[in-house]
Structure 1
Amino acid sequence: MELFPPMPLTEWQDTKETLHRFTQVVGKIRLAASVRRNHWWNVPFHLTGRGLTTRPMGQVDGNPVFTIDFDFVDHRLVVTTADGRTASFPLVGRSVASFHRRTLEALAALDIRVELANPRPYRLPDTDRPFAEDVEHAAYDPVWANRAWQVLNQVGLVLEEFAARFSGKVSPVHLFWHSFDLAHTRFSGQHLDQPAQVDPVTREAYSRELVSFGFWFGDAALGEAAFYSYTAPEPAHLADDPLEPATARWTELGDGHLAVLRYEAARAEPDPRAAVLAFYESAYRAGAGRAGWDVDRLACPGGITDPRWPAPPR
């Protein structure tokens, strides 16, 4: 497959909306059955050679160790326990209500018991409707689902390459199911005291100064796929700094700004991969520079911190 193939949101929006809710069902299982990590890093999915995985969970809650995987090659949801037992079912032709029911049945078949505190979509327009009642979202085109996974893998490798350039605290490259975006975040280590009225999800996510980078397939606000970056808290005059390539722009986001490089604009560049890396680097230098980070000290050229590399021959 070509690097960054076409992903027009209008062509697969129905599939995306259904798949987004599928991932939220499984994501809430992961939230309930995993050990909490800083910045909610226990919650997102990771990419695999066939789709997305929750990674192993259970054990501390009395359940067997188990993993839930989205297979976007054979288009199935697969639940696997550490002792080798498996339950799975097809993703095609299934509503959110059906997916929710079959997922719980698959868990029960493997003696896994997980209680979801709030089995409804998170920060979606139908947040008041239980998953068990959603028969509206039932579109799943396997061609588009597979292509979306291919794109996520391609972007994931670019983000991994970008992540290697920084020696400080960083997040994994992971997919957050609440917003269905692939993300990677760098931290300065500076502690932030959030106002008391800030919700607990946001308080934990932004408890340290950061610059975040990612990709998402588009939504109602931005009706196309795009690469993005933001700095939190946003330093003064951030949007005055230039971005690369020339097609990248600062856009308003609430009271702040989001650096955006449209997916189609990246595809049109002579070297799309280099263009995305340049975009992330320019957004990082703008945010970290304005916030006063020691950019040179935190640099990690070639992913190497060992000053004696390459090692002398033995």
Structure 2
Amino acid sequence: MELFPPMPLAEWQDTKETLHRFTQVVGKIRLAASVRRNHWWNVPFHLTGRGITTRPMGQVDGNPIFTIDFDFVDHRLVVATADGRTDSFPLLGQSVASFHRQTLETLAALGVRMEIQVPRPYRLADSARPFAEDFEHTTYDPAWVNRSWQVLGQVGLVLEEFAARFSGKVSPVHLFWHSLDIAHTRFSGRVVDPPPRVDPVTREAYSRELISFGFWFGDADLGEPAFYSYTAPEPAHLADDPLTPASAQWIALNDSHLAVLRYDAARSEADPRAAVLAFYESAYQAGAVRSGWDVGRLACPGGITDPDVPTLPL
């Protein structure tokens, strides 16, 4: 597949809406069955060679160790336990309600007792409707789902390369199911005191000064896929700094700004991969310099913290 193939939101929006809710069902299981990590890093999915995975979970909640994987090659949900047992069912032909029911039934058949604390979508238009009552979202086009996973894999490797350039605290490259975006975050180490009325999810996510980088497929606010970056808290005059390439721009978002490089603009560059890396770097430099980070000390050229250590043939 070509690097960054066409991914027009309008062509697969109904499929995306269904898939998004499928991932939220499984994501909430991951939330219930995993040890909590700073900034909610226990919750996102990670990419695999066939789709996305929860990674191993259980044990701390009395359940056997188990994983849930979305297989976007054969288009099945696969549940596996550490003793070697597996069970699966097809993703095609499911409503959100039937997917929710079959997921819990499959877990129960493997001895996993699970109750989703809030069995409704998170921050979606139908967040008041339980998963078990959603018979509306049923569209699942395997070709578009597979392509979306291919794109996530391509972007994920670009983010991994970009992550290697920083020696400070960083997040993994991971897929958040609340907004279906793949992201990587860098931290300065400074503690942030969020406003007292901020919700608990946001408070934990932004408890430290950070600059985040990612990609998402588009939504109601931006109806097309795009690469993005933001600095939190946002320093004064951030949006005055130029971004690279020239097609990138700062977009006003509530009381802050989002650096955006639209996917199709990146695709039109002579070297799309280099253009995305340059975009992330320009957004980082803008946020880090304006926020007073020690950019030189935190740099990690080529993913190496000690340039005097020779490359060893391991």
TM-score by length of 2: 0.99
- 1:227 counterpart = 2:192: no
Instruction: Tell me how far apart the structure 1 counterparts of residues 154 and 74 of structure 2 sit (CA, whole Å).
Output: 19
Paired letter, 1:265: A
Instruction: Tell me how far apart the structure 2 counterparts of residues 289 and 118 of structure 1 sit (CA, whole Å).
Output: 41
- Counterparts of 1:219-258 in structure 2, within 5 Å, are 219-258=219-258
Query: Which residue matches 1:33?
Result: 33
Paired letter, 2:294: D
Alpha-carbon displacement from aligned partner over 1:94-135 (angstroms, at most 9, x marks no partner): 100010000000000001011111000000000000000000
Q: CA deviation at 1:309?
A: 2.3
Alpha-carbon displacement from aligned partner over 1:172-207 (angstroms, at most 9, x marks no partner): 000000000000000000001112211110000000
Q: CA deviation at 1:311?
A: 5.4
Instruction: Tell me how far apart the structure 2 counterparts of residues 176 and 144 of structure 1 sit (CA, whole Å).
Output: 19
Query: Which residue matches 1:210?
Result: 210
- Counterparts of 1:172-187 in structure 2, within 5 Å, are 172-187=172-187
Paired letter, 1:98: S
Paired letter, 2:38: N
SS at structure 2 position matched to 1:244: coil
Query: Which residue matches 2:89?
Result: 89
Structure 1 residues without counterparts, runs of 5 or longer: none
Query: Which residue matches 1:45?
Result: 45
- Counterparts of 1:141-220 in structure 2, within 5 Å, are 141-220=141-220
Paired letter, 2:25: V
Instruction: Tell me how far apart the structure 2 counterparts of residues 290 and 191 of structure 1 sit (CA, whole Å).
Output: 17
Q: CA deviation at 1:294?
A: 0.4
Instruction: Tell me how far apart the structure 1 counterparts of residues 294 and 117 of structure 2 sit (CA, whole Å).
Output: 42
Q: CA deviation at 1:310?
A: 1.4
Query: Which residue matches 1:135?
Result: 135
SS at structure 1 position matched to 2:280: helix
Instruction: Tell me how far apart the structure 1 counterparts of residues 15 and 93 of structure 2 sit (CA, whole Å).
Output: 11
Q: CA deviation at 1:307?
A: 3.2
Instruction: Tell me how far apart the structure 2 counterparts of residues 312 and 167 of structure 1 sit (CA, whole Å).
Output: 20
- Counterparts of 1:3-18 in structure 2, within 5 Å, are 3-18=3-18
TM-score by length of 1: 0.99
Instruction: Tell me how far apart the structure 1 counterparts of residues 308 and 289 of structure 2 sit (CA, whole Å).
Output: 28
Instruction: Tell me how far apart the structure 2 counterparts of residues 73 and 232 of structure 1 sit (CA, whole Å).
Output: 37
- Counterparts of 1:110-129 in structure 2, within 5 Å, are 110-129=110-129
Instruction: Tell me how far apart the structure 2 counterparts of residues 87 and 221 of structure 1 sit (CA, whole Å).
Output: 38
Instruction: Tell me how far apart the structure 1 counterparts of residues 193 and 49 of structure 2 sit (CA, whole Å).
Output: 39
Query: Which residue matches 1:279?
Result: 279
Instruction: Tell me how far apart the structure 1 counterparts of residues 20 and 60 of structure 2 sit (CA, whole Å).
Output: 28
Query: Which residue matches 1:298?
Result: 298
Q: CA deviation at 1:312?
A: 8.5
Q: Could you say if the C-alpha distance between residues 311 and 158 of structure 1 is closer, same or farther in structure 2, counting changes exceeding 3 Å?
A: closer
Q: Could you say if the C-alpha distance between residues 311 and 155 of structure 1 is closer, same or farther in structure 2, counting changes exceeding 3 Å?
A: closer
Q: CA deviation at 1:9?
A: 0.3
Instruction: Tell me how far apart the structure 1 counterparts of residues 24 and 129 of structure 2 sit (CA, whole Å).
Output: 13
SS at structure 2 position matched to 1:122: coil
Aligned pairs, how many? 313
Instruction: Tell me how far apart the structure 1 counterparts of residues 151 and 26 of structure 2 sit (CA, whole Å).
Output: 21
Structure 2 residues without counterparts, runs of 5 or longer: none
